[in-house]
Amino acid sequence: MSLENELRERAENQCELCGATENLKVREVPPSDGTADQSILVCEACDSLLDNPEANPNHWHCLNESMWSPVPAVQVTAWRVLKKIAGEGWPQDLLDMLYLEPEVQAWAEEGLEESAEEAPQVRDSNGNLLNEGDSVTIIKDLPVKGAGFTAKQGTKVNNIRLVPDDPTHIQGKVNGTTIFLKTEFLKKA
């Protein structure tokens, strides 16, 4: 029996993440040996979002059901996606409920570390590495387009968020307004 047929039988011809029944394909869950135990059957929508789940976090509400799958590869994929979008709030609640066996948890974390290494690093004006949740200080008065105010030099921005796929910007709150800031005008606090 081919890998795809084996997965279709296991998943009852449905995406193992969202339950869709059209445009299904095999996706290996790295690190993988290419077997059915380390692969999942996904629809086109899930497949396109797995590499960048932050692009449409609302799509992943389906994990509320699929994270309880008895299939370790599905559990690992659900855990990794929820971990990447945990900043949305609701995914963290699901992560807090999800229990993985120790070997499955190690597999999930191993794959997340690999993808984190590939992610571009975000650095401030002095070359310091910025991470999600850090605090930064604005080093130059910056007019904020569309908001009608100027972000003043010396303003501290707490609990920053990184912008997926753009290491030149961060997101933070200034004067109660969430704005995007160029990293070249920031220094780590």
> What pLDDT digit, counting tens, does each position of 23-56 carry?
999 999 998 888 989 999 999 999 999 988 988 9
Q: What confidence score (pLDDT) does residue 1 get?
A: 67
Over the stretch 100-119, which tens digit does the pLDDT of each residue have? 999 999 999 986 655 555 55
- Give me the architecture of the 122-188 domain, per CATH: Roll (2.30)
- In the chain, the N- to C-terminal Cα span, in Å, equals 58
Where in the sequence of the chain do the CATH 2.30.30.40 domains occur? 122-188
Q: Has residue 70 got a pLDDT over 90? A: yes
Question: What is the rounded CA–CA span in Å between residue 187 and residue 154?
Answer: 10
What is the residue type of 124?
D
Please state, for a pLDDT cut of 70, what percent of the chain lies above it.
Answer: 94
